[in-house]
């Protein structure tokens, strides 16, 4: 059994825009769709490096949208600040959707295999 441990940091970031996924991820200042808005955020690491990144989880509900200028808590591996993730209750609905689709795929796939 191989265990991999990695040290990380928790920091505060500021939402600077929203992710649009058509033709690759890019940042926009206004996203007026009816679905949720995944945040682009900026922060400084403990080594004073400026980093911009975005959330990879889908935002499902307009009620839990992020706003430009909003402060959010993030966590990232020390040597890979670009891989930062958002630590917020607003990320949970998208995570649950992905988990639900994965479990549904396993159940349906199992029926075809056996």
3-15 per-position pLDDT tens digit: 445 688 889 999 9
Check if the beta carbon of residue 51 is closer than 8 Å to that of residue 82. Answer: yes
Within a domain: residue 61? yes
Instruction: Match 């928790």 to its residue by tokens.
Output: 10
Domain that holds residue 13: 8-113
Within a domain: residue 65? yes
Instruction: Give the confidence band of 1 by pLDDT, cuts at 50, 70, 90.
Output: very low
- Is the pLDDT confidence value at 33 over 60? no
Within a domain: residue 88? yes
Look at residue 61 in the predicted model and tell me its pLDDT: 55
Within a domain: residue 2? no
Q: For the chain, how are helix, strand and coil distributed in percent, rounded to 5?
A: 25, 30, 40
Q: How many domains does the chain have?
A: 1
Whole-structure pTM value: 0.66
Q: Which two tokens stand for residue 58?
A: 């889908």
Within a domain: residue 3? no
More confident residue, 114 or 86: 86
Within a domain: residue 51? yes
54-77 per-position pLDDT tens digit: 887 766 655 567 788 989 999 898
Within a domain: residue 91? yes
Provide, rounded to the nearest whole percent, the portion of the chain with pLDDT above 70.
68
Within a domain: residue 80? yes
Sign of dihedral through CA atoms 25, 26, 27, 31?
A: negative
């Amino acid at each position: 059994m191989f265990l991999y441990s990695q040290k990380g940091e928790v920091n505060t970031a500021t939402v600077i825009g929203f992710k649009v996924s058509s033709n690759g991820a890019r940042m926009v200042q206004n996203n007026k769709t009816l679905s949720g808005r995944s945040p682009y955020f900026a922060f400084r690491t403990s080594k004073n490096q400026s980093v911009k990144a975005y959330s990879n989880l889908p935002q499902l509900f307009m009620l839990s949208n992020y706003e430009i200028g909003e402060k959010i808590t993030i966590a990232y591996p020390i040597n890979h600040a670009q891989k930062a993730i958002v630590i917020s209750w607003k990320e949970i609905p998208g995570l649950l959707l992905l988990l639900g689709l994965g479990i549904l795929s396993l159940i349906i796939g199992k029926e075809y295999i056996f």
